[in-house]
Structure 1
Amino acid sequence: MFLPLHDSNPIRHVDFPIVNYGLIGLTILVFLIQSSLPPSGFDQAAINFGMIPIVVRDLYPQPLPWLPDWATLVTYAFLHADWLHLLTNMLFLWVFGDNIEDALGHIKYFVFYLTCAAAAAGLHLLFNLSGNGPLIGASGAVAGVMGAYVLLYPHARVFVLARIVWFIPLPVPAFWMLGFWIASQFFYVLVGADDGVAWWAHIGGFIAGLVLAPLLRRPGVRLFAGR
């Protein structure tokens, strides 16, 4: 129903959000490599590096013997199913990630992002213990960034492309946009939506962002800011 375009929230502590742009670049590069493979290779990459619950639980052997089972709790976040999946996640990361890197610092932000990815995969695993399909996509990690953003900058204005009758760009407070987003994730879980979307991963990442942001923020970075 909406897409973020940009926010009115300048960075203050770093000259350039190198980690955030590096994560975007790396994720796009991985997708380009994956897309260069034949269809069977594209699918095999998802199986090899995606998070498969029965593999992580050691109920089924890891497709790549040299890759530890736990590693896919992170590697899955750099794979995507198609261009729309990739570009949507990267758009959200581009809009919100620079401010979280600014609030945490480069190294802490990198650790934060990977931890949110792992937390998202972990909650997905908890609710899909017998799952045999690979979880892929950065949305869980990006949800962590969104969780941190709504806690640190709830009053920041986010310009979104909203579909009412037709698409209209609207400025809305981050709290309302991101609050609506997480509420929709719980809604789809409650109604039992079975469309292949990893709703629990989104929720797990968002919660991880809420928990980690206060712990990792720089001294002097206030909660509930962004006016």
Structure 2
Amino acid sequence: MFIPLHDAVELKYIRVQYVTISIIAINVLVWLFTTVASPAIVEHASLGLGFIPAVIFDYAVLDPSLIIVPDDATFITYAFLHLDFWHLASNMLFLWVFGDNVEDALGHVRFLIFYLVCAAAGAALHGLVVPSSEGPLIGASGAISGVVAAYFLLHPRVRVWVLVLFRIPLPLPAFIPLALWIVQQFAMLALDLDGAVSWGAHVGGIIAGAVLVLFMRRKGVPLFDRAIVTPKAVERKSGVPQVMAVRE
């Protein structure tokens, strides 16, 4: 398990990641609203906006008094609800670290479409895995899994600072932690179908993100970018001789 902290990829095509910031803001505002509300409102929001496979596949019917949006809309709305602060924080941190560069590679509008389609794909696979489940699926993990998959294909060799085992900060090529994380999602989908985490939503988002980035990225944006990004702090000025290190 790792927590992303920072990457070294600068924006090339956009000045500000407006969509990424807006998605994070919406998620935070929704969480704050549902947190300060009464438990009854929180439950109502989860049932009315969460993705419930049994309702989608006609195994159950939601009480009309709980309906907030049409059933089909919950393929998207579920991705803006979170269970608690840590659920929200972990998802938004992944989005903050990796989302800006995927938005840069796709453009603002296409990134928004990409994000929502990945969310819908996550819900769809979750529903196919547990079609009779009456528990509401909530959280942005499906959409963010798509973002991670896209970043993995775009910038696998960029160094990313990650917190390993929640305590050890390490700068690693992105493909190492991301590949391990992606493999873990598929493995857990096979091993933990009845767990509290929807691995199906993660895998659905990964598959959608990996496919969509192939044709949604800007013209000229390469996959498996091999450019080495030198941190500004160590850039050399022209005309300044390089001093070789001396080893004792």
| Match in the other structure for 1:40 | 40
| Match in the other structure for 1:186 | 186
The answer to whether the 8 Å contact 2:20/2:99 transfers is yes
Q: Who wins on radius of gyration, i.e. which is larger?
A: 2
Q: Distance in 2 between matches of 1:46 and 1:15?
A: 36
Q: Distance in 2 between matches of 1:50 and 1:65?
A: 10
Secondary structure of 1:137's counterpart equals coil
Shift of 1:75: 0.1
Q: Distance in 2 between matches of 1:181 and 1:187?
A: 10
Shift of 1:186: 1.8
Shift of 1:226: 4.8
Secondary structure of 1:158's counterpart equals strand
Secondary structure of 2:30's counterpart equals helix
The answer to whether the 8 Å contact 2:4/2:97 transfers is yes
Deviations 1:65-113 (A, max 9, x none): 5622110000000000000000000000000000000000000000000
In the TM superposition, 1:167-206 aligns within 5 A as 167-192=167-192, 194-206=194-206
**TM-score, with normalisation over the residues of structure 2?**
0.87
| Match in the other structure for 2:104 | 102
The answer to whether the 8 Å contact 1:123/1:200 transfers is yes
Shift of 1:189: 2.1
The answer to whether the 8 Å contact 1:117/1:141 transfers is yes
The answer to whether the 8 Å contact 2:20/2:95 transfers is yes
Secondary structure of 1:161's counterpart equals strand
Q: Distance in 1 between matches of 2:46 and 2:220?
A: 41
Shift of 1:58: 3.4
Shift of 1:174: 1.2
Shift of 1:13: 0.2
Shift of 1:61: 3.1
The answer to whether the 8 Å contact 1:58/1:69 transfers is no
Shift of 1:194: 3.6
1:76 is aligned to 2:87: no
Moved over 4 A (4+): 62-66
Deviations 1:33-84 (A, max 9, x none): 1111111221221011000001122343344556221100000000000000
In the TM superposition, 1:65-214 aligns within 5 A as 65=67, 67-163=69-165, 167-192=167-192, 194-214=194-214
Secondary structure of 2:15's counterpart equals coil
**TM-score, with normalisation over the residues of structure 1?**
0.95
The answer to whether the 8 Å contact 1:157/1:174 transfers is yes
Which of 154-163 and 83-92 deviates more? 154-163
| Match in the other structure for 1:9 | 9
Q: One-letter code of the match for 2:112?
A: F
| Match in the other structure for 2:215 | 215
The answer to whether the 8 Å contact 1:96/1:146 transfers is yes
Deviations 1:103-145 (A, max 9, x none): 0000000000000000000000001110100000000000000
Which ranges of structure 1 fall in alignment gaps of 5 or more residues?
none
